[in-house]
Structure formats: structure tokens, C-alpha cells
Amino acid sequence: MKNLFLLIVSVLAVITINAQQNSIAFLDINTVDFQFEKESNTLTNSEDKRANSGYLKKVYAKETSTEVKKLEHQVLNYNIKNHSIYDDSEKATYRVVFKKKQGKITVVYNNAGDILSSKEQFKNIKIPYKLRVMISKSYPKWSFASNTCSVLYVKNKHVEKTYTIKIRKGKKTKTLKFNKAFKLIK
């Protein structure tokens, strides 16, 4: 019901905006039924030739959690032009939210269906092996309490990936923040 209300409000907003202005639409995609067909540590030729392959090339890392890869591939495969809210009669941007239990990706598409930007947020996913080993060696006898992985993508600009990891030793806790190269951010 909430999603239907948001969709109706978004459609009404798009209709009432002057045709000379950019329109914005919002879609909330429930990804519970998404089936990830193959596990891969490299980009396939077909993925490399897709319209939004630049997005995947920038955010993809072979050590990334399977849950993250599944959602990123759904973003890559999504075609805004196939949705009923799509209108190619005027310049517009579309914000689509892809959700899974452990995280979500908010993507902004342009009228051509290209990904302009994305914001990814994942909680308590499998931390890359190299980072787990590095933390375990630096903080022996500490345990992993929780983690968050954030990815900010802007087309033709940059990708910012951070891992925020909370570790625990008895009643003591520490929060560590790392960039995509696993360098500690102070």
C-alpha cells in the first residue's frame, strides 16, 4: 500500500511539473524474488557490452559478497524503459530503489536508461577475506561485531567504497573505517 501511494504521488508530481523542467520519478523495487543464476568472479562478455556496463566495471570487485553482487547485477539488468512510469516525451530522471534483506541500492537513471549515480548500503555482509585477515592480525583476540559497506557511484567521475567495521573484545568496542583499497581511514 505504501509503495502504491508513493508511485501515485510520483506520477502526479511528474504530470504537474512543467514540460520544460526535468521530471523526477521514484520506483521502489522489491527484489525478494530475484534469482542470481551464476556465481562469477569476472565480468562476462555480455555484461561488458551492456549499456550500463560502466557502472558494473566501476563498482565490481571479485572479493565482493555474493549478496552485493546479486543486487548490483539486478541494477545492471534493470531497464527503466520497460516500466509503466517511463515517459520518453521529455527529459527526466528516475530514482529506483532495489532492496534486499542485507542492503539496498538507490539508482538514478536518465531518460535514455543510463545510470547517472548510485548509492549502495549493505549491513553485516561477508567482509572481503584480505580485510578480515588484516583486521584479525592487527587486533588479535577481537571479534567482528557488525559491518557496513557503502558505495557511492557517479557516472564518469568516481566510485567511493568504504567498509565500516565494529569489533569487540569483552565490553570494549572499536569502529574501524577502510577505503576500497583497505587502507584505514582516520
pTM of the model as a whole? 0.70
Give pLDDT, residue 19.
Answer: 37
In a domain, 161, yes or no: yes
Question: Is residue 143 in a domain?
Answer: yes
pLDDT of 34: 34
- Does residue 139 fall inside a structural domain? yes
Question: How many domains does the structure of the chain reveal?
Answer: 1
Q: What is the residue range of 152's domain? A: 2-179
Tell me whether residue 149 is in a domain. yes
Stretch 136-162: mean pLDDT? 94
Q: Is residue 82 part of a domain?
A: yes
User: What pLDDT digit, counting tens, does each position of 8-58 carry?
Assistant: 666 555 555 433 344 444 555 544 333 333 334 444 444 444 668 788 888
Q: Which DSSP string corresponds to 49-101?
A: TSTTHHHHHHH--TTS-HHHHHHHHHHHH--GGGSTT--TTS-EEEEEEEEET
Domain-located, residue 175: yes
Question: Is 186 within the bounds of a domain?
Answer: no
**Residue 185 belongs to a domain:** no
